[in-house]
Amino acid sequence: MAKRTKTKLLGTEKLHRIIDLCRSLEERGLDPFLLDVDNVLETIKELFPEWKNHDELCLDAEAVNEIASAINLQSKWVKHRSTSLHTDPFLIEEKLRKLSKEEIATLFLKSWHPTIELEQISPRSLTEAMTYWQDLVPLGKRWLRTEGSWTKTGIATKKELLAQNIIAEKEFSKELETYWHELKQKAVDGKKIEYWDFIGSETYAETANRAYMASFLVTYGYATLEIDRLEEIVYIKPHETPIPKMGNKQAVSVPIPVSLADWKAWREGRAS
């Protein structure tokens, strides 16, 4: 009985997430195709046999209605793109690459509309020029030599340089590869693992440092992030070999908060 109650609670939580996601698409003007319609409909289909009372069935109907609204947004989005003659930026870039310099110059001249301004010497501008030269300090005074100050030099130890962050204890590239190999060991057979399971550590300072290094793993092509928007879980997946270039894909910045409160919540969740 307790297991069935827990399953129903998790199910209602998923329905609320689906409803919130659908509403945010319209309220915040997001890309409606962020919603995986097949996935959420499959979730609703699996949960439907669990609902017995009036409130649960109403919540299920509300989720279906919000999904229908999201599908309507997707339809409007496609119609708008098709009627406004939308062209993908990458297609334009490919066309420009195929044009010769002469053809690009011709297109530029056809679309160029410069602003023309006429300038001429007037009595006022002559007066301003004379005033400027009269007030200017003579070269002899402007180029006076200044005496330099002497500073006694010394020798800095490696410990002092490390304390001032002038040098690093490890080379950055070697340290990055160390984290990459660790990620590949934790993600067996190249599978993804939860982001916090990789960056989480015994201290908050070490956790923040691991999150910092994880961001470079993704930036330099050692790994990639996958986000389950329905479950609100972030995964990190290592590449077998680094992928320095993304081809024609446009990079997207994904902010992931790593606050002290998040770290404490992760530790408490792991302890339980």
In a domain, 71, yes or no: yes
Q: What is the pTM of this model?
A: 0.41
The answer to whether 213 touches 178, Cβ cutoff 8 Å, is: no
pLDDT computed for residue 156 by the predictor: 62
The answer to whether 66 touches 22, Cβ cutoff 8 Å, is: yes
Q: Which is more confidently placed, 70 or 272?
A: 70
* Sequential DSSP letters for 166-178: SS-SS-HHHHHHH
In a domain, 113, yes or no: no
- Which residues contact residue 71 at a Cβ distance below 8 angstroms, ignoring those fewer than 6 apart? 37
In a domain, 124, yes or no: no
* Neighbour-count burial of 64, counting CB atoms closer than 10 A to its CB (0-12 exposed, 13-18 middle, 19+ buried): middle
How many domains does the structure of the chain reveal?
Answer: 2
Whole-number percent of the chain with pLDDT over 70: 77
Boundary residue ending a domain (43, 63, 80): 80
In a domain, 161, yes or no: no
Residue 203 is part of which domain span? 172-271
Give the tens place of pLDDT for each residue, 189-219: 668 888 888 888 888 888 888 888 888 888 8
Give the tens place of pLDDT for each residue, 227-262: 877 777 888 988 888 886 555 554 556 677 788 888
Boundary residue ending a domain (80, 107, 124): 80
Boundary residue ending a domain (38, 58, 80): 80
The one-character DSSP state at 143 is T
CATH of the domain at 241: 1.10.10.580
In a domain, 133, yes or no: no
In a domain, 187, yes or no: yes
